[in-house]
Amino acid sequence: MTPSELRVIANRIRRRDLQAVFEAGAGHIGGEMSVTDILTALYFRVLNIDPAHPDVPDRDRLVLSKGHTACALYVTLAEKGFIPKDEISTFLKPHSRLNGHPNRTKVPGVEANTGPLGHGLPIGVGMAMAAKLDKADWRTFVVTGDGEMQEGSNWEAIMAAAQFKLDNLTLIIDHNRLQQGARVADTNNVAPFAPKLEAFGWAVEEIDGHDMAAISAALDRGAITPGKPKCIVAHTFKGKGVSFMTDDVAWHHKVPSADQYKQAMRELEEAV
Amino acid sequence: MTIPVPPGQLYDCRDAFVATLEALAQKNSDIIAVCNDSVGSSKLGGFRDRWPDRLVNVGIAEQNMVGVGAGLANGGKIPFVCAASCFLTGRALEQIKADIAYTNTNVKLCGISSGMAYGELGPTHHSIEDFAWIRALPNIPVIAPADRAETIAAVEWSAQYEGPVFLRLSRVGVPDLLPEGHVFELGKANMLRDGTDLTIIANGVLTHRAMAAAQVLAARGVSARVLNMATVRPIDRDAVLAAANETGAILTCEEHTVFGGLGSAVAEVVVETRPVPMKLLGVPGIFAPTGSANFLLDEFGMSPEGIAASAAELMKKKA
């Protein structure tokens, strides 16, 4: 799929996500807008997966460790055909499969029940080890937030991935520079990521996390360094695609008013 | 499988654990051992020598260790995640909750040297909260074998069970109690001795002490039933109800705080079905003083004499 085709899908996912958050009256729209291009490239260009057979052993794995952006994942899974598109309207409703954080035992295509931060990368390390033990060539991808990298468990996993030479593992850091309450730099400045990950023995690539061609190239199998796990530092914007949300910490989990919703939707429609 | 042990000797059940694990791993290449630099204390040296690629030592990093277990299970493996129980359950509790229990992942959590096995090393190394922590989580059976035969049976059962398990294993020597070839049934207590005056319920390293206490009581004309309750969750409600109905008093003994462990699990059934007088023996809500595991169990009233004395007190409360 070409970058322009991916952009069209990503725009559709953003609009559906915006609508779902507006109708549910809750969600994490800022981080959903920042991660949407990454998820789109993964699901529509990179991942070897089959919505009709979500559990085949040799599928690629994606763990969305920043589980609070579940709505973007649900919309992407629906767009890909894992769940019915009309099910998105049940987001956060009583007894819906689609709660605020993804659940593998309920939603096909979800690989891990994330939510508490710093859980996805250790799980991804285990997945990559399983593939190595089987000499299988399926790949594991983990998407974390940048503030999430403040969790110590990530660094335990980073050490293990290098020690076990897991070149079938790719970590994508959604580096939007904002965490829930403030800028990462003003909270506990874990950035810059590239020199840290390199010091821990990883191959690192920095990209524009909204450039579909760059995302696709970085995720390509040909971009693997043999013997090293890979980290893609994806420079993104929280609230990407909506002018008044972009790079504004207030939109971590704020819900748009009716007027804001109309404006945001108009901006996204005009961007198609 | 069976492991010969000379009669009368006390046995370190870690040996039965690893012998069984290796026998299972020989037959099933999906069985993986995961540990946190605990190759020695988990007795995984033999496993490592036989299958170096299938021994995943993540170093001193318990949160990653449990997450790696979840990922290996997602990839079709059957990981036995082995670590000192205090670190496995304390350091990685959120991973156990989210990655193992909530995700209902096929990971076998093996809490080694549980309870007060580390004795003199002190309360940082005691694991006397793990029943309470893990049995509060849905989906994970909580199992504390009492001896060699039950350890073998519980490990074999865990390997074939599709889902998470918490195995609580000790290093404190225990005598043989259950018959050779014992078959483990989840949620089923074993009546090791029938009695009519009261029931003593125990598991793990306390079961043989409960049996010795029953002998002390018998010499005094008191007939004590002894239930070995290896499964703390799901608890054997039928056995508890029968004990309440048929003996009228229940004394629990555990190498665990009395807040939220085996005694609490039994009491939850008793108060809902057939209230009878109970006494909960265990660590009485304090950090233990210095001493070996066996010293501390005696100190907290769980020598055979101590258990018998508590039984006598409890009997006075019977209607």
A230 - beta bridge partners? A170, A203
A174 - beta bridge partners? A145, A234
Look at B68 and A119 and tell me if their CB atoms are within 8 Å: no
Q: Rounded to whole angstroms, how far apart are CA atoms B99 and B68?
A: 10
Question: What are the C-alpha distances in Å from B29 to residues A64, A182, B54, B223?
Answer: 29, 48, 8, 49
Q: Rounded to whole angstroms, how far apart are CA atoms A148 and A88?
A: 26
**pLDDT (0 to 100) of residue B2:** 64
Residue B213, Cβ neighbours under 10 Å: how many? 29
**pLDDT (0 to 100) of residue B120:** 94
Task: Provide the b/e sequence for B44-79 (b: ≥16 CB within 10 Å).
Answer: beebeeebeebbbbbeebbbbbbbbbbbbbbbbbbb
Q: Could you give the 3-state DSSP secondary structure of residue B226?
A: strand
Look at B64 and A114 and tell me if their CB atoms are within 8 Å: no
> What's this model's pTM, rounded to 2 decimal places?
0.96
> Which residues on A lie below 8 Å from B138 (Cβ)?
none
Q: What angle do CA B77, B81, B82 make, to 5 degrees?
A: 145
Look at A133 and B77 and tell me if their CB atoms are within 8 Å: yes
Look at B68 and A160 and tell me if their CB atoms are within 8 Å: yes
Look at B64 and A122 and tell me if their CB atoms are within 8 Å: yes
> Which residues on B lie below 8 Å from A156 (Cβ)?
58-59, 61, 63-64
Look at B72 and A129 and tell me if their CB atoms are within 8 Å: yes
Ranges of chain B with pLDDT below 70: 1-7
Q: Rounded to whole angstroms, how far apart are CA atoms B291 and B296?
A: 6
> Residue B14 belongs to what H/E stretch?
helix B13-27
Q: How many angstroms separate the CA of residue B55 from the nearest CA in chain A?
A: 11
Choose the mutation target among B55, B58, B62, B66 for the interface with A, i.e. most A CBs under 10 Å: B58
Query: Which tokens in the block code for residue A218?
Result: 């970085």
Look at A123 and B58 and tell me if their CB atoms are within 8 Å: no
Is A233:A193 a contact under the CB 8 Å cutoff? yes
Q: What angle do CA A144, A149, A153 make, to 5 degrees?
A: 100
Kindly list the structural domains of chain A, giving each domain's residue range(s) and its CATH number in brackets, ordered by start.
3-270 (3.40.50.970)
**pLDDT (0 to 100) of residue B317:** 96
Query: Which residue in B has a C-alpha nearest to residue A58's C-alpha?
Result: B75
Look at A121 and B67 and tell me if their CB atoms are within 8 Å: yes
Query: Which tokens in the block code for residue A163?
Result: 């020690």
Characterize the bridge pairing of strands B278-283 and B250-257: parallel
Burial label for B307, CB within 10 Å (0-12, 13-18, 19+), is buried
> Which residues on B lie below 8 Å from A140 (Cβ)?
71
Q: Is any Cβ of chain A less than 8 angstroms from the Cβ of B197?
A: no
Q: pLDDT tens-digit profile of B156-173?
A: 999 999 999 999 999 999
Query: Which tokens in the block code for residue B209?
Result: 């002490």
Look at A159 and B61 and tell me if their CB atoms are within 8 Å: yes
Q: pLDDT tens-digit profile of A31-49?
A: 999 999 999 999 999 999 9
Average pLDDT across each block of 10 residues of chain A; the chain has 272 residues. List them in order. 97 98 96 98 98 98 98 98 98 97 98 98 98 98 98 98 98 97 96 98 98 98 96 98 96 95 98 88
> Which residues on B lie below 8 Å from A62 (Cβ)?
none
Choose the mutation target among A137, A153, A155 for the interface with B, i.e. most B CBs under 10 Å: A153
B200 - beta bridge partners? B226, B251
B225 - beta bridge partners? B199
The residues of A whose Cβ lies within 8 A of any Cβ of B are 57, 61, 103-105, 111-116, 118-119, 121-131, 133-134, 140, 152-153, 156-157, 159-160, 163-164
Q: Rounded to whole angstroms, how far apart are CA atoms B227 and B237?
A: 12
**pLDDT (0 to 100) of residue B9:** 85
Residue with tokens 């990298």: A149
Q: pLDDT tens-digit profile of B24-43?
A: 999 999 999 999 999 999 99
Residues whose CB falls within 8 Å of the CB of residue B293, separated by 6 or more in sequence, listed in order? B115, B116, B117, B118, B119, B170, B172, B205, B255
Characterize the bridge pairing of strands B31-35 and B55-57: parallel
Look at B63 and A128 and tell me if their CB atoms are within 8 Å: no
**pLDDT (0 to 100) of residue B5:** 60
Kindly list the structural domains of chain B, giving each domain's residue range(s) and its CATH number in brackets, ordered by start.
13-168 (3.40.50.970), 190-315 (3.40.50.920)
Q: pLDDT tens-digit profile of A88-139?
A: 999 999 999 999 999 999 999 999 999 999 999 999 999 999 999 999 999 9
**pLDDT (0 to 100) of residue A272:** 84
Residues comprising chain A, all counted? 272
Q: Could you give the 3-state DSSP secondary structure of residue A191?
A: coil
Q: How many angstroms separate the CA of residue A74 from the nearest CA in chain B?
A: 17
**pLDDT (0 to 100) of residue B3:** 64
| Nearest beta carbon to residue A156 from set B54, B64, B79 | B64
